Amino acid sequence: MLLSLWNFYMNLTVSQRIWGGFICITLLLLLIGGNSLFRIANINNSAQQVNQLSLPALEQSSDLQVEFILMSKAAQASFYTVSAAELAPVQQSVLEQKQRFDKSYSQLQQVVRDNPQLNQSSQNVERTYKGFIQSVENLLEYKSNQLELNKSLRAQLEAIELAAEDANSVVLDIIDIDGLESSDNRAYQAANKLENNFLSLVTNSTDMLTVKTQNTLDIIKNEQLYYLEEIERSLNLLKPAVEAAEPALYNDLNNYFVSIRDNILGNNSISANKKRLIDVIAMTEKELTEAEQATATALKQLNELVSQASNVAFELQKEVRTDVDSANLWTWIGMISATLLAIIVAYITVNRIIKPLAEVNRILDIVASGDMTQRLDDSAKDEFGELSRSCNT
């Protein structure tokens, strides 16, 4: 095959060889330029992906991590608030952080939507976030209820204490009624028992506010009902005698008793509200635990997202390095090939010009001396072959 190419080349004219050499060199230059443009386009695409995907994804993921941590800390802070005034700024803080998180996540979605791996990771974060924010919102709601119940319980205890104190004042007045002990000893004894029962009821109600479990609450509630029944029984015993002697005192005592009874019995009793408080505290603790677990999961997912975005940047950096190395290699190959081709074409072409011209000059010198027997080699197919044939004729 090389021999055939050589014969083909030798049959070309000088102008064809020169044009062929220039064409080959031009094609090599175009090949080098095309390869460089292709590599530059790849580098530009990689740079755009870094600027439009990796770096924004890293930035937004970092922002999401910060907001998640802040919301988690706010949730923990809300758990330890002791008043509505303390809870209000925490609720506002969570609302603002939620808005910032939603904005950052929306921007993240726009960045990673065309990358399957990063898009899937961001959706995992979103699912965890939805569970987290629901737990935080429930936590804030339950905490608000808890604070309201605490306030109601303190108000009920205060009402019971005041009513019991006033009732005992009336009891002392009843005990001092002239002739009560002698005329109705049972009523007198009942009045004496009332003072202790009222005090026991107050102590019992105070203890109720400190209990932590439903079982303990049930025990104290039963004791409370027992003291209430004892008070009611004593009132029934002293009612006839006191109403006969001092009806106003009995009415006052009965009114205080009704006030106490209203705070001890019924759906809004102190024990019912305490049960609600125990339940809501349990729910608050549950939501806090779930929020903390969701935070840990989300931070792990965000770390994975950051790692994936970093890996994308590293891979793009490798691709850029590969493209640069490849472009350099092909540029050198093209330059060397073009140089060698130019040298070969020039060398062969010059030889194909110099040798025939030297031969023509030699023959012309001989002919000029008068020797017409010499002939030129006119076998060549190029311009010098035609010149030789012209000289021979």
Helix axis angle, 116-175 relative to 84-112, nearest 10°? Answer: 170
User: How far apart (Å, rounded) are the C-alpha atoms in residues 168 and 210?
Assistant: 25
From first CA to last CA, the distance across the chain in angstroms is 37
Give the residue, 69 or 324, on which the prediction is more confident. 69
C-alpha 168/C-alpha 189 separation (Å) is: 14
The per-residue pLDDT for 385 is: 58
Cα–Cα distances in angstroms (integers) from residue 247 to residues 24, 132, 232, in the given order? 130, 63, 17
The predicted structure's pLDDT at residue 185: 82
| pLDDT mean over 221-225 | 93
Give the pLDDT band of residue 334 (cuts 50, 70, 90).
low
Of the pLDDT bands very low, low, confident and very high (cuts 50, 70, 90), residue 379 is low
pLDDT, position 244: 83
**Residue 308: its pLDDT value, please?**
76
Who's near 262: CB < 8 A, 6+ residues apart? none
Which of 64-73, 302-311, 325-334, 341-350 has maximum average pLDDT?
64-73
Cα gap 284→301, rounded to integer Å: 25
For residue range 96-123, what is the model confidence (pLDDT) as tens digits?
Answer: 988 988 888 888 777 777 777 778 888 8
Asked if residue 333 has pLDDT above 80, the reply is no
Residue 116, both tokens: 């399957």
pLDDT for 137 beyond 70: yes
Structure-block tokens of residue 205: 């109600």
In the chain, the amino acid numbered 78 is S
Angle made by CA atoms 381, 385, 391, in degrees to the nearest 5: 155
Query: Please, which contacts does 76-82 make with residues 24 or more away whose CB atoms are closer than 8 Å?
Result: 76/288, 76/292, 78/139, 78/140, 78/143, 79/139, 79/143, 79/284, 79/285, 79/288, 81/143, 81/147, 82/147
Q: How many CB atoms are closer than 10 A to CB 361?
A: 10
pLDDT in tens, 7-54: 555 555 656 666 666 676 677 667 766 666 666 666 555 555 555 556
This prediction's pTM? 0.70
Tokens coding 236: 């029934």
Of the listed ranges 30-39, 296-305, 382-391, the one predicted with least confidence: 382-391
CA distances from 270 to 160, 197, 230 (A): 10, 18, 19
pLDDT class for 227, splitting at 50, 70, 90? very high
Per-residue pLDDT at 218 exceeds 90: yes
Q: Place 199 in a pLDDT band, splitting at 50, 70 and 90.
A: very high
Q: Which residue has the higher pLDDT, 280 or 392?
A: 280
The domains located in the chain, with CATH, are: 47-142+282-338 (1.20.120), 152-281 (1.20.1440), 354-392 (no CATH)
| pLDDT for residue 6 is more than 70 | no
140 pLDDT tier (thresholds 50, 70, 90): very high
